[in-house]
Amino acid sequence: MTGYWGKLMQLVTPSAKWRAAFLDMARECAAAGDERYALAISDFDAYLRRLEARRRSEYLPAGEVPQAEFWLVDDGEVIACARLRLTLTPALEVEGGHVGYDVRPSMRRRGYATELLRLTVVEARAYGIERVLVTCDDDNVGSIRVIEHNGGMLAGRDAASEGGKAIRQYWIG
């Protein structure tokens, strides 16, 4: 797939091949206050092992489900990450859904999230998930657009279990 600047864009499985590019993105996220990749920054190999164990349903913490992670790469740079949850719990049906995603701060508002979600839905189908649930905060206009551009149909609204924030649920497919 050609990227937004004519470069080669692809969804990749996390691996040591992308170490430098991923860590660059992880450090950018950390500098912006997002610590979700702290383990990758401190011990990249342990981070990869955790991702693989989670995909295989090994050693899942209570309440967590198997998931596959993918990285969106454009011209050798890791731009974004998607997490595809392979099953749903009642809590994920309200908030979280099948897909969670994030785009590195310097690359937001350039269409990457829309492409990332599109490619992740393709991966979901490869895992046998025909209808993909995606959720977002009710006031997150950017995510609403991304989901709706990917064919998301509003299925409902609910309140987050923590804090009570309004959440939208969309089905794609």
* Token pair of 122 as six digits: 């393709």
Alpha carbon distance 79, 71 (integer Å): 7
Q: How many CB atoms lie within 10 A of CB 116?
A: 25
Q: What is the pLDDT of residues 44-86, one digit of tens each?
A: 999 999 999 999 988 788 888 999 999 999 999 999 999 999 9
Q: What is the pLDDT of residues 76-110, one digit of tens each?
A: 999 999 999 999 999 999 999 999 999 999 999 99
The pTM score is: 0.92
Q: What are the extents of the domains in the chain? A: 9-172
Alpha carbon distance 77, 66 (integer Å): 27
State the CATH architecture for 9-172: 3-Layer(aba) Sandwich (3.40)
